[in-house]
Structure 1
Amino acid sequence: MAIPAVDSVRATAVGTKRTSRIASMDLVRGVVMLLMAIDHVRVYSGVPPGGPAPGVFFTRWVTHFVAPGFVFLAGTAAYLHGRKLGNRSALAKFLVTRGLWLVLLELTVIRVAWTFNLDFAHYLLAGVIWMLGWCMVLMAAVVYLPRAAIAMMGIAIVALHNVTDLFAGQLQQIYANSDPPWLLKILYFGGAVQLGGSGPPLLILYVLVPWIGVMMAGYAFGAVAEAAPDRRRGICLKLGVAMSAAFVLLRALNLYGDPRPWQGHFFTLRGFLGFLNTTKYPASLEFLLMTLGPLLILWALSEGWKGKVADVVETFGRVP
């Protein structure tokens, strides 16, 4: 089934045989890649004596943009790849194949790279690559839906999943004496999933909800990505500012969107750090607004960015 064309100026986005690079998108992804390197160095640096200092906090906080950026842009890249293929079935096959390969790599090569051991008998790690892989597999079914439906579903997942916070007490009672079912752990709760009677536990760090919603939103955003640069810049800037403002409003008023309410005074260091200390596991609505909003603003500002620095950053953001 062919993917219908969108009526937009896309000379810089879609070629006759293959989708050409969108430089601003590569720049944003390059920034995310560089931040990821900081995050991985931080993991092995430990915490200084006396606990986390403000500098350590901000080193961790700035890397929060990595996972949302990767997942959102993976959705956008999937849309653009589908435009190049011109066939939803081919795109679905591509997503399933790549997704399963990512899951396999997470449980083998990446597991060894993180732990420096081959002791697979005692535990396996399900991190961000695991989550990306399974989200791609799920997207293989989603791509058959209209783009508007994908957008609405993605936004709904991101916006509404924190409704579970309203029932935290009831959920604690339900699972006071037993763990949630393994599927619910993979989807939302996280934790250890025992593989068979004598197999290793699978430690779920990155669950699939709300990340599948982020990827769906990124996929729907693909139509904006292939628009003319001026139009793309305007949409990214307006949407990024709106999302950032929504984060500030929700966080300041403690209305909804994070299981860890903000407390304190904004104009004190402790209060300001608390304001930014949103929940990542699973990623709350406030966390995603806090990170995706500025990333879209960065996308708008990166339009037309030229020079040696831009060339280096863009190189990091390119993928095959």
Structure 2
Amino acid sequence: MSKTNHRVQSLDFLKGLVILLMALDHVRDYFHKDVFYFEPTDIEQTHLALFFTRFITHFCAPVFVLLAGTSAFFVQQRMLKFELSQWLVKRGLWLVFVEVIIITFGWRFQLNFDSIVFQVIWLLGISMVFLAVFIHVPKKLMIASSLIVIFGHNSLDGITGGQFSDIWTLLHVQGPILLSEDTVLFNVYPLIPWIFVMPLGYHLGGLYTSAYDAKARRQLLIYIGLAAIGLFFGIRAINIYGNLTFWTTYEDFGKTLMSFFNVSKYPPSLLYLLITLGPSMILLAWAEHFKGKLYTITVLFGKVPMFFYIIHIYYIHLLAVIAAYLTGYDPSLMIVDVWISFETGLQGYGFSLGVVYLVWLFVAVTLYPVCVWYWNYKKTHRHHWWLSYV
């Protein structure tokens, strides 16, 4: 195996790992018995296993956004920068379309444009559009600007936006935007600071050039990761900045632990990004030494992340329809107008967390051959331009 392939495999491993964790979160959304009653991060009602099942899936979005920037860096190695900008804009707008049409139908099993939900694929797409501009900013200035926004954006918490509240919702507050009397846009992923994470990923790609040997690269990744983790614990312990909510001491140590790690994802707080991207950098360094069957399988998932993302939503939703029917519920209740507001008729439906994990393993095992087929098809049909968008 060549040195270059080894590097790419470590990146694919990390992408594959987080996309599998993402599938766990989506299986929980459709199968867990408590999904209609409380959030898994509600300290007063959750428990350690459920909380940390949700917590480990926090790694997905930051790694997706960061490594999308790294992938753009590799694309840029075979074209001019202005060509990359064009490619990023086209791919970004395509991803927005995928979110609004293809992903929306997968979540709901009906097309209903009374409500439009912008989730992670929208975020990736619009971040690519911004990256098309950011790649032309000098490297040091762009990295410094990104870090300033990431470390400073929590100072904007609590600002409502006033007469520009809709724009502010798009930028920094999760919430609804009324497009018309009949249409509501719900923005799950505000743009700040997400659009400044992707440029860091773009410049991270420089570690995989001839300017760095493998040892130097791994050491730097570990140093960055340890620094991020250290900053997380230091800032979180002070408990005055870096997150929408502060942590609280409980008589129950488990609740205190959950409160400490209960970081805000919407928008992603400084602490959220530190405790997700920090360990991810260390894992990325270690992954260059990984071997074995599970490693190879995970790498394969990481080679087809967009394909996996689309089909796994349809697949999990279909399995949930079947599960509802087999447990005595009207399966049509799984055809929803808005994912976040299930019909009350489904209350009582669902399974234990152990069953959720079993369903997740079933989804991963059964989708693996499909992903192998698609990867082989993609390798042998490179002349099909559309394959670069899936």
TM-score normalised to the size of structure 1?
Answer: 0.86
Question: Given the alignment of the two structures, is residue 107 of structure 1 paired with residue 100 of structure 2, yes or no?
Answer: yes
Q: One-letter code of the match for 1:188?
A: H
For 1:1-320, what aligned pairs fall within 5 Å after superposition? 12-13=3-4, 22-48=8-34, 51-85=45-79, 87-120=80-113, 122-165=114-157, 168=158, 171=159, 175=162, 180-195=164-179, 197-226=180-209, 227-264=212-249, 268-319=253-304
Q: What secondary structure, in the 3-state scheme, does the structure 1 residue paired with 2:289 have?
A: coil
Q: What secondary structure, in the 3-state scheme, does the structure 2 residue paired with 1:84 have?
A: coil
Following superposition, the deviation at residue 276 of structure 1 comes to 0.6
TM-score normalised to the size of structure 2?
Answer: 0.71
How many percent of aligned residue pairs carry the same amino acid? Answer: 36
Q: Is the 8 A contact 1:190 1:206 kept in 2?
A: yes
Structure 1: gaps spanning 5 or more residues:
1-10, 14-18
Q: One-letter code of the match for 1:42?
A: R
Give, in whole Å, the separation in 2 of the partners of 1:289 and 1:143.
23
Give, in whole Å, the separation in 1 of the partners of 2:174 and 2:285.
35
Match of 2:322 in 1: none
Following superposition, the deviation at residue 198 of structure 1 comes to 4.1
- C-alpha spacing 1:266/1:97, structure 2 compared with 1 (3 Å): farther
Give, in whole Å, the separation in 2 of the partners of 1:295 and 1:37.
18
Give, in whole Å, the separation in 2 of the partners of 1:84 and 1:228.
21
Q: Is the 8 A contact 2:6 2:288 kept in 1?
A: no
Give, in whole Å, the separation in 1 of the partners of 2:82 and 2:182.
36
Following superposition, the deviation at residue 183 of structure 1 comes to 2.0
1:59-90 C-alpha deviation (Å, 9 max, x unpaired) = 111100000010011111111211222x1111
Give, in whole Å, the separation in 2 of the partners of 1:124 and 1:163.
29
Structure 2: gaps spanning 5 or more residues:
39-44, 305-387
Q: One-letter code of the match for 1:64?
A: H
Q: Is the 8 A contact 1:156 1:213 kept in 2?
A: no
Give, in whole Å, the separation in 1 of the partners of 2:84 and 2:3.
22
Give, in whole Å, the separation in 1 of the partners of 2:200 and 2:82.
20
Report the more deviating stretch, 276-285 or 140-149.
Answer: 140-149
Give, in whole Å, the separation in 2 of the partners of 1:52 and 1:46.
13
Q: Is the 8 A contact 1:191 1:203 kept in 2?
A: yes
Report the more deviating stretch, 229-238 or 45-54.
Answer: 45-54
Report the more deviating stretch, 302-311 or 291-300.
Answer: 302-311
Following superposition, the deviation at residue 312 of structure 1 comes to 0.6
Give, in whole Å, the separation in 2 of the partners of 1:303 and 1:20.
7
Q: Is the 8 A contact 1:36 1:63 kept in 2?
A: yes
C-alpha RMSD of the superposition: 2.1
Q: Is the 8 A contact 2:228 2:274 kept in 1?
A: yes
Give, in whole Å, the separation in 1 of the partners of 2:276 and 2:251.
19
Report the more deviating stretch, 156-165 or 271-280.
Answer: 156-165
